[in-house]
Amino acid sequence: MPSFYVTTPIYYVNAAPHLGHAYTTVAADVLARHHRQRGEAVFFLTGTDEHGEPVADAAHAQGVEPQELADRNAERFKALAPRVGASNDFFIRTTDPQHEAKVQEVLARVRENGFVYEGTYEGWYCPRCADFKAENEIEEGNRCPIHHVELVREQEESSFFKLSAFQERLERLYAERPEWLAPRTRYNEALAFIRSGLRDVPLTRHKLTWGVKVPWDEEHVFYVWFDALLNYYSALTYAPAPVTAEPPGAANPVSPNPVPGDPNPAPPNPAPAVAGSNPAPAIDASTDLVSTFWPPSYHLIAKDILRFHAVYWPALLMAAEIELPHRLFVHGYLLMEGEKMSKSLGNVLDPFAVIERFGADALRFYLLRDVPFGQDGSVSTTAFEQRYESELANEYGNLASRTLAMVRRYRDGVLPAAPIDPALASDFEGLAEEVSALLDRAELTQALDAIWQRVRRLNRYVEERAPWTLAKDEQRAGELDEVLASLADGVRVVSLLLTPYMPASTERLLDALGAEDRTLSAARLGAGPTAPGNTVGELEPLFPKA
Ligand SMILES: [Zn+2]
């Protein structure tokens, strides 16, 4: 039974959720939903990183305990996932006692294996990064290259992690498994860092108390990055087994509650499960999630945390004798264009404002449509509105409404049982395989584009075949049947493939088409419902015009 395990970074609890968090979460969700459609066992993890100096400092400034601040802020990130329609199987917090115990256990093993020693560390430290800076990366004026704040000279007794011992093994990893880190620019960047010579890094902090206690020295806590990275592993040791018995195509197994003001709420009753149509494997609670899901299929991260994931993380796993993840994918930044302004959204692309006004599906679509996943690119409220209007409302929403309306008008709502037009069939040939292959490489934008080309093909098909003309001629009834059957089935296929991107709206459309099989194997022309007398249901506009 194939399994798929995808993670987002755990989000630092001191920040407020913003577009970047929504972006990574949505991307991971698309992969998770796609692999569930493939009938695989899937585990999708997100969560919060709660230790370290910045949280302790912020708590003290507010006169509260760090735990209280972490509890309060973690809720905002927990709420983010259902708002963007994410189907995460678990939400980890690094203050979970089970996580803390696992961190202590794994790092004690790293020490037993001979990769930890005692020493004194002195260096330039950025309190915002919670990290010491190497001499060659310090910015002018002795500042942090990321935060531009003045660095502090710090010296303390520490346990050190022998990162330098992994120089050769890391170089070999990059040589033998070039697919392990994508895109290529990030691979090159990480490899160059490794080749420049790895120095040992502090594993513990003495001055801090807000962290996981070091079992061999209770005066110390683990450096927050080691604690944080281990979440990907620890989660599988105590998370409940994923709920796999969801009805096929259920839009949002995590939060069935519609978002207030969402113009595209999910229907209150998801389609009932049909025996034999849902291949999702059953994982009972006693199953060991580590043996099912480790190593991770994909860690998705943004480029600012590349070094920790591409260098420290594999070295740490090697030191603990834990198998390495399959792939790491580094996405770019979404840059705001301040000078453009849309009427309904102002000039800042606030994910929550977009969801409030246009629904989570529209946000999900736009984030993966406009900027190729893996690259930096500009996003803006005007570009969002253009895509919404021209692609979601016109090209897709209108195609769906028209198709259902013609089946109702010309065939009393009964989907004709006619063969698929070969001219259309050839343009859909191999589409599901193409999309799967692209998503296997985390090419989320290219996969979406491949599907969208078929949405456009269907719109051209309507214009070419002009069903309204065929309907005027009784002699051409067979031809009209073929056109309507082909069109409805084409809409079904693109919607199935779009389900990971836009789960709520595609579910409504697939329900209206009576398409019960929501698996990827049904995403080919001619595999649609063929029961005689299969009638189409009602469908409110999927993407109402603003
Ligand atoms: Zn910094």
Question: Does pTM surpass 0.75?
Answer: yes
The pLDDT of residue 54: 87
The pLDDT of residue 284: 53
The pLDDT of residue 283: 57
Structure tokens at 356: 């409030």
Which of 147, 148, 207, 545 does the annotation list as catalytic? 147
Largest CA distance in the chain: 91
Tell me if residue 21 is catalytic.
Answer: yes
The pLDDT of residue 137: 82
Tell me if residue 343 is catalytic.
Answer: yes
Task: Please compute, for residue 127, the number of CA atoms within 13 A of its CA located in the half-sphere on the CB side.
Answer: 13
393 Cα: distance to centroid of ligand 1 (angstroms): 43
Segments of 61-137 assigned E as strands: 90-93, 116-126, 131-133
107 — pLDDT class (breaks 50, 70, 90): very high
* Model pLDDT for residues 15-58, shown as the tens digit of each residue: 889 999 999 999 999 999 999 999 999 999 999 999 988 899 89
Tell me if residue 60 is catalytic.
Answer: no
* Model pLDDT for residues 506-543, shown as the tens digit of each residue: 999 999 999 999 999 999 998 887 666 788 998 999 99
| Residue 49 backbone phi and psi in degrees, to 5 | -100, 120
Interatomic CA distance for residues 103 and 18, integer angstroms: 28
The pLDDT of residue 287: 60
The pLDDT of residue 250: 41
Interatomic CA distance for residues 237 and 297, integer angstroms: 17
Count CB neighbours of 324 within 10 A.
Answer: 15
Tell me if residue 147 is catalytic.
Answer: yes
342 — pLDDT class (breaks 50, 70, 90): low
Q: Is 79 helix (H, G, I), strand (E, B) or coil?
A: helix
Structure tokens at 37: 């459609």
Instruction: Read off the pLDDT of each residue in 434-442 and give the average, rounded to a whole number.
Output: 98
Which of 126, 133, 309, 331 does the annotation list as catalytic? 126
Using alpha carbons, select from 205, 209, 199, 138 the residue that is nearest to residue 163: 199
395 — pLDDT class (breaks 50, 70, 90): very high
282 — pLDDT class (breaks 50, 70, 90): low
495 Cα: distance to centroid of ligand 1 (angstroms): 44
* Model pLDDT for residues 458-467, shown as the tens digit of each residue: 999 999 999 9
The pLDDT of residue 147: 86
Instruction: Read off the pLDDT of each residue in 225-243 and give the average, rounded to a whole number.
Output: 95
